[in-house]
């Protein structure tokens, strides 16, 4: 028994030593091995340490805390963690004594705002991220490389919202240029930027049916999968596998290729094998939402994904709910079940009535899409014209686009295009 207690003590001491070393390291790849529960504990500890009188480098400590809070928000969908990431970035700015520390703090604020935009939407957050980036001119090469990477990320998101091929090409060029230096100073950030660049190329390749862009995305994703070991970089590996699977599934759907769709399912399974849902809830939900592009995909994982994020106001939670309701309506319509459609409509109206006033844009948009889907399905069964659906979908598409969630806007426009043309 005594030897067991000694072993446990040594294990705990080694674990604490690991965290001390990790705090001092610029390489944040170790974060992928830490679950969200432990991540939030470490973020709180760093936030407290930054305010201690004994802290010798408070700006750097708060900067690190901001990074951890941001990562927690990105993986948990907790809005409070974005707020804390912004607060600790501001603390880092207040405590800064050098130009480089001030630049790093401003860039940390920019990244926290980008995370808010990615997780919750809101174009204002993207505009503020751009403003924070432009507020400083870093001098140190490593900080300049970080800034170039953030600039490329901002432009990529702006390009997605503009939906112009030229803007996508400009963003891709910025990404390629930023990767050169970022790889030298911060390989972890470089991998994340490479992943975003591959996603942009994949989207552009599918939208424009450009084989060269698809080939480039495929090469970059394959390189990331190979380079990222499941033992050290499980989340980056899973994200790359998910993008591969999503791209293959989208192309398979367009081509009606069942074997390619099955290959996509295998990749989705491989992605989910890299980590557990509680390790990174948002990553797990992203996989379930992406694989639901196949109507044959099971709904149980999607329902679990929606429950994980219910009430948090995340984009992924909204997408999961929209897909679930869509599946439910399709089944009822296929069965000619007007009673079930009426019940779904009543549930949606009740949810709309229970929303806060004014309702969150994302929640309102998802509810409007659901209402329009019910109207369209019901009209098809009773052979009437769903006149109100076009207006509802137009409003939903505009709200989603303005909020910075083009995927929901695209779903609304696709439904509008499917409406029967009135003579």
The crossing angle, in degrees rounded to 10, of helices 387-403 and 361-382 is 160
pLDDT at 1: 47
Threshold 0.75, pTM exceeds? yes
Q: What is the DSSP string of 199-242?
A: HHHHHHHHHHT-HHHHHHHHHHHHHHHHHS-TTT-HHHHHHHHH
Model pLDDT for residues 171-189, shown as the tens digit of each residue: 999 999 999 899 999 999 9
Is there a contact between 89 and 105 (Cβ–Cβ < 8 Å)? Answer: yes
Q: Which of 61, 285, 192 is nearest to 200 (CA)?
A: 192
Q: Which helix (H) or strand (E) holds 306?
A: helix 300-309
pLDDT digits (tens, 9 = 90+) for 97-113: 999 999 999 999 999 99
- The rounded distance, in Å, linking the Cα atoms of 104 and 124 is 22
Tens of pLDDT, residue by residue over 293-332, are 888 889 999 999 999 999 899 999 999 999 999 999 999 9
**Tokens 């081509």 found at:** 255
Q: What are phi and psi of 86, to 5 degrees?
A: -70, -40
pLDDT tier at 20 (50, 70, 90 boundaries)?
Answer: low
């Amino acid at each position: 028994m005594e030897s067991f207690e000694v072993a446990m003590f040594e294990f705990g001491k080694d674990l604490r030593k690991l965290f001390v070393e990790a705090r001092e390291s610029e390489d944040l790849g170790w974060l992928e091995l830490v679950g969200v529960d432990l991540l939030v504990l470490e973020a709180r500890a760093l936030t407290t340490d930054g305010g201690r009188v004994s802290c010798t480098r408070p700006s750097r400590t708060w900067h690190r805390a901001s990074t951890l809070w941001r990562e927690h928000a990105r993986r948990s969908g907790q809005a409070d963690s974005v707020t804390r990431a912004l607060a600790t970035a501001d603390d880092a700015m207040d405590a800064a004594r050098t130009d480089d520390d001030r630049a790093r703090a401003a860039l940390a604020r920019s990244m926290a705002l980008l995370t808010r935009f990615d997780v919750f939407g809101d174009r204002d957050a993207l505009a503020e991220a751009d403003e924070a980036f432009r507020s400083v001119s870093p001098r140190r090469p490593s900080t300049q490389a970080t800034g170039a990477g953030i600039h490329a990320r901002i432009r990529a998101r702006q390009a997605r919202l503009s939906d112009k091929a030229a803007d996508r090409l400009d963003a891709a060029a910025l990404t390629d240029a930023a990767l050169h230096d970022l790889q030298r100073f911060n390989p972890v950030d470089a991998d994340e930027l490479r992943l975003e660049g591959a996603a942009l190329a994949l989207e552009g390749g599918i939208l424009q049916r450009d084989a060269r862009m698809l080939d480039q995305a495929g090469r970059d994703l394959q390189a990331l999968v190979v380079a990222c070991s499941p033992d050290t970089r499980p989340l980056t590996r899973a994200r790359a596998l998910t993008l591969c699977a999503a791209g293959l599934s989208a192309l398979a759907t367009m081509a009606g290729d069942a074997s390619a769709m099955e290959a996509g399912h295998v990749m989705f399974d491989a992605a989910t094998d890299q980590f557990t849902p509680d390790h990174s809830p948002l990553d797990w939900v992203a996989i379930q939402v992406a694989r639901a592009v196949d109507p044959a995909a099971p709904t149980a994982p999607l329902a679990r994904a929606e429950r994980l994020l219910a009430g948090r106001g995340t984009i992924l939670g909204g997408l999961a709910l929209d897909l679930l309701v869509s599946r439910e309506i399709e089944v009822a319509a296929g069965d000619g079940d007007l009673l079930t459609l009426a019940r779904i409509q009543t549930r949606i109206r009740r949810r709309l009535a229970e929303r806060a006033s004014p309702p969150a844009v994302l929640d309102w948009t998802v509810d409007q899409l659901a209402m329009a889907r019910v109207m369209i399905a019901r009209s098809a069964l009773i052979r009437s014209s769903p006149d109100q659906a076009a207006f509802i979908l137009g409003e939903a598409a505009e709200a989603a686009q303005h909020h910075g969630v083009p995927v929901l806007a695209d779903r609304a426009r696709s439904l509008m295009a499917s409406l029967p043309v009135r003579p």
